[in-house]
Amino acid sequence: MRKKTIRKVFSLAVIFIVCALVSVLFAYNKALNSVNFEGESEKIITIPKGVSVEKITEILTENRIVEEPFWFKFAVKLSESQSKLKAGVFKFKQGKTNKELIDLLVDGKQVLKKITIPEGLTYKEIAEIFSREFSFNSGEFVRLCEDVEFLEELEIKQSSVEGYLLPETYFFPPSLTEKEAIKFLVSSFNDFWEENFPHGKTDTTVVLNRNQLLTLASLVEGEAILDEERAKIASVYLNRLKKGMKLQADPTVQYLLEGKPRRLLFKDLEIDSPYNTYLYEGLPPAPINNPGKKSILASLNPAEVSYLFFVAVGNGSHTFSNNFNEHLQAKSKFDKVRREVSRANSKNL
């Protein structure tokens, strides 16, 4: 009798354990592997910073990505992902398991937004681009670009980040902050610089540090339109530096003027500022814009020419000269063309 009772109790225990295991396996599989809303619909959904698992579940449920909120929350707990779910903007598809949704939120792979920074803009102009594209506070962006402690953190030894925001096409998450954007652009510049600086052959008779080379590149960016002329323009400035001549670079005066670039007047050339290379010898104290890769490379690898002057000829190119008399002749020729164009335009009005 006792043996029968023991066998019966044992059998019941086995059945109970098996049922419990089956229940656990069912719950585990249900929580992690059951498919939500079978279909192909996609949605771009923002997960705000600092929200709870409860709130994330609510957001995904309202958007018909999570079908059974209880099982999603249970899956988060099973996978020990409570503190790993990231904020941001994500592309969610219907027909995904809870495990796949959790993996997406843990990996943090967000929808990226494309933004292009053109060559030759100032950091204030770049702030306006980010302000339009990311709803940034442009004032905060500018403030950070001039913040002494932040500049020290970035290892930039000048009064702003001017010159160090590398122009390029980037892809950023919409959750990007002002500080993250600046750090990323400066980091991109540093990577480009480290990759190319050892290969530069700038004439060692003009010893320039990184800030000065970047300042030179910003002058090249301000003058050059045609890529094939960038290295020549860099060489002209370096040749003038060697001879102790003033650079007389129009873009440095434009940098001092408010508003859009315009034709310079004689009074503009008299503005008393170390950035005015018509009054002061040498390079300006810092870059006057954020030069692109081609201008930086041209400054690291200037052309081997003896030119000391250049003047625009109206079609994007320049005439380069070795001496002042040649320069005056080239300038006179261009002034004549400009007057003829002006007269022709007047007749057509």
Give pLDDT, residue 31: 61
How far, in Å, CA of 313 to CA of 336, rounded? 11
What is the per-residue pLDDT across 70-128, written as a single tens digit (0 to 9) for each? Answer: 888 888 888 888 888 988 888 888 888 889 899 999 987 888 888 999 999 999 999 99
pLDDT band at 21 (very low <50, low <70, confident <90, very high): very low
Place of tokens 């320049």: 318
pLDDT above 60 (res 223): yes
Residue 2 CB contacts under 8 Å (≥ 6 apart), including other chains:
none
Angle at 273 between CA 269 and CA 278, to 5 degrees: 35
Nearest to 82 by CA among 53, 107, 46: 53
Q: What is the pLDDT of residues 229-254, one digit of tens each?
A: 999 999 999 999 999 999 999 999 99
* pLDDT of the residue at 313: 85
pLDDT at 185: 97
CA distance 202 to 299: 7
Mark residue 100 as left, alpha or beta (left: phi above 0; alpha: psi -120 to 50; beta: remaining).
alpha
Rounded to two decimals, what is the model's pTM? 0.75
User: What domains are defined for the chain?
Assistant: 21-107 (3.30.1490.480), 113-186 (no CATH), 200-307 (no CATH)
Q: Do 176 and 111 form a contact (C-beta atoms < 8 A)? A: no
Closest CA to 229 of 335, 310, 337: 310
Question: Distance between CA atoms of 208 and 197, rounded to whole angstroms?
Answer: 12
Distance CA 212, CA 241 (A): 12
For 254-277, the pLDDT digits (tens) are: 999 988 888 888 899 999 999 999
Of the listed ranges 1-10, 90-99, 176-185, 293-302, the one predicted with least confidence:
1-10
